[in-house]
Structure 1
């Protein structure tokens, strides 16, 4: 057995994800020598350093969301993670109250062209061209019968006021740069979590027979039910339509595939060149923009929503995907000595408060691949087996 194989089994055991056969292999290996026991202690120490989250860390949310969060669908878990990882499955359980078919709709909120790399703070762009950096300072402003508040705790809130006549809809554009996340509460009660390098355009107030927003990047939606106004997410050529439910959408322009992962309820997904498909809870719809192909599969939804709690959970994930997601949190570029290394697979949890070098150390220590950071560049190369065992 190669050292890389046993390291993967050790990580699976530490994460309480190992199969019975893997546990047997691990036990036999551990009892084989004192050297193996010492090696295991080193790996466990690294794992704890990477996975530990300080007790002082508090997930930013309000009491209403805490009440929803208590109704998680843990019974649908595919695997368990031990206490030392300490991640909360951000899974909202709500009742879907219906689903409508797609019809022609009026002009949707269009995302104006911006260079997201020019932003270092979450920023609200108003229709008149004004830019408001969402820093730690609270503010309140009124625009078209809606009060907009920033609570200085990574949450922007829209509060609808009483009608005073004809409402003219204005769009806002929210930009979330690398390394940042933000929450948004729309005037209709819909709650949205926005991941790093994400843009969302939405009306200040929904006034038509549909609630439409436009997304580039990744966001988790907890849609407020409204039978009269279906909610539609236009996501880089993929439309997701619901009345009230919870789901995650990932549609980064740099990715080859876009996904919609349903937590609870029912949604219809339509792409530019395919018919509408309806997915069920715990299913993920994938659209490959390279060939316009689609697929649906059952997934562990926690793997695709854990980012809301400041973590990425990787389960048998390719190194290429791990690196791509970490680049949304950390500022670095990557060079592969061998392109085939992109296909190496790993299981680990990355907390956004963990030092990048520690994450690289864990991956390097438990594989025959070395990730070496020089400034803002990470060089990834293969190391020989005999070097690994030294």
Structure 2
């Protein structure tokens, strides 16, 4: 039984006078978690008929409950049941109605509380990914556990909880096997390749790489965003492919962002030097420089930036430098694992500058954005909406 369903059953038992001391202790702990929980419990306890809706309130985005709540919302609440017999009958009637797809109203106050509860429960991303071996087998990379795998060419893969490391061995096959690490929304991951190169992968990113590198260039392919700290090897350059861009290095640290929903691929050099190529165009970067390459080929420029800001996500920070709310929404969506959209005609014009801890809850993130006196968070049809209030004046 899910925790939310357990709370629903305890509330029902307390209303009926059958709750045990253990159940009441669990309920008190839940009530202490937030004012929204206490208000919601008070409202739900006004009528046993409302109790079955608790589980649906906590269904969140996957069940699209917000659209359903608004469609079914009415202005008045359910009346208190006067007699125990009527109370039991109502519980049974509502259970039957819900089983048939019906809805009872929680009213405007409950809807507001439910929206607040939705925002409050959104937690930041965690470490985790999926490793796809050359055989096609998928291995979950999550907290806990330790195991050692051996690829078909003899390369040893060490998985220790959320860590993944490749260990060089004598080549047993001429062509090395290829692995893929895929990081979904709401997660991040890092790994060490067989040459000692460290790679950090941001949310909604993937890395395709050989389990061991041969005598030629060390080549990998990335989608999304990754930070590389490349092991120096003067005899073999390290090449990162990202869409239409390739970045060549021998030993350096840089960030590359190539999300499909962004207009440009950005390579930002922190240390060393890299060559960025796209078609017939190329540029050598020095530390503190960023190359921007448009997906349609219209952009190819180099500019001076605060390079460390673009790698700040690997240190647990969001750094926004004169960034549009639309761009911020895309980054927060990937990290919190929920669709976050801007609302307002100036979504691509209003800009925000600041540094925010990456591991804050979304509610805290929303409060920080609200300090601009322009932005507030709301919930509409299962999406988080960042409203630009000045457009509503």
In the superposition, the TM-score normalised over structure 2's length comes to: 0.64
Tell whether 2:169 aligns with 1:157.
no
**Tell me, which stretches of 5 or more residues in structure 1 are unaligned?**
1-119
Residue 195 (structure 1) aligned to one of 195, 202, 205? 202
Describe how 1:209-228 pairs up with structure 2 within 5 A. Answer: 209-228=216-235
Distance 1:210 1:384 in 2: 53
Structure 1 residue 294: deviation in Å? 0.7
Partner of 2:356: 350
SS at match of 1:339: coil
Match of 1:123 among 113, 127, 130: 130
Residue 370 of structure 1: how far off its partner (Å): 2.7
Task: Give me the whole-angstrom Cα distance separating, in 2, the residues matched to 1:334 and 1:328.
Answer: 9
Pick 1 or 2: higher relative contact order, CA cutoff 8 A, min separation 6: 1
Q: Secondary structure at the match of 2:311?
A: helix
| Structure 1 residues 335 and 219: alpha-carbon distance in aligned structure 2, compared to 1, 3 A threshold | closer
Shift of 1:168: 3.0
Q: Is the 8 A contact 1:319 1:344 kept in 2?
A: yes
The equivalences for 1:29-68 within 5 A come to: none
User: C-alpha distance in 2, partners of 1:369/1:191?
Assistant: 38
Matched, 1:140 2:148: yes
Residue 266 of structure 1 corresponds to which residue in structure 2?
273
Q: CA offsets, 1:81-105, max 9 Å, x none?
A: xxxxxxxxxxxxxxxxxxxxxxxxx
| Contact 1:310/1:352, CA 8 A, preserved across alignment | yes
Residues 360-388 of structure 1 deviation map (CA, whole Å, 9 limit, x = unaligned):
1221232223332347412233435998x
Distance 1:123 1:234 in 2: 20
Partners of 2:263 and 2:244 in 1: CA distance:
12
SS at 1:262 equivalent: strand
Higher share of residues assigned helix: 2
1:1-390 residue pairs with structure 2 within 5 A? 121-136=128-143, 137-143=145-151, 144-152=153-161, 154-163=162-171, 165-272=172-279, 274-374=280-380, 376-384=382-390
**1:132 Cα deviation (Å)?**
0.5
- 1:107-156 C-alpha deviation (Å, 9 max, x unpaired): xxxxxxxxxxxxx941000121110011222211112131101121x321
| C-alpha separation in 2, matches of 1:188 and 1:121 | 22
Relative to structure 1, the CA distance from residue 386 to residue 264 in structure 2 (aligned partners, 3 Å threshold; closer, same or farther) is: closer
Change (3 A) 1:148 1:339: same
Q: Deviations over 1:313-364 (max 9, x none)?
A: 1122211111111111113324444232332111222323211122112212
Per-residue CA deviations over 1:180-221 (Å, capped at 9, x if unaligned) read 111111111111111111110000111131100000011111
8 Å CA contact retained: 1:236, 1:253: no
3-state SS, counterpart of residue 348 of structure 2: helix
Structure 2: state its 5+ residue gaps: 1-126
TM-score w.r.t. structure 1 length?
0.64
Cα gap change, 1:127 to 1:330, in 2 (>3 Å): same
Per the TM alignment, residue 297 of structure 1 is displaced from its structure 2 partner at its CA by: 0.7
Retained in 1: the 8 A contact 2:345–2:391? no
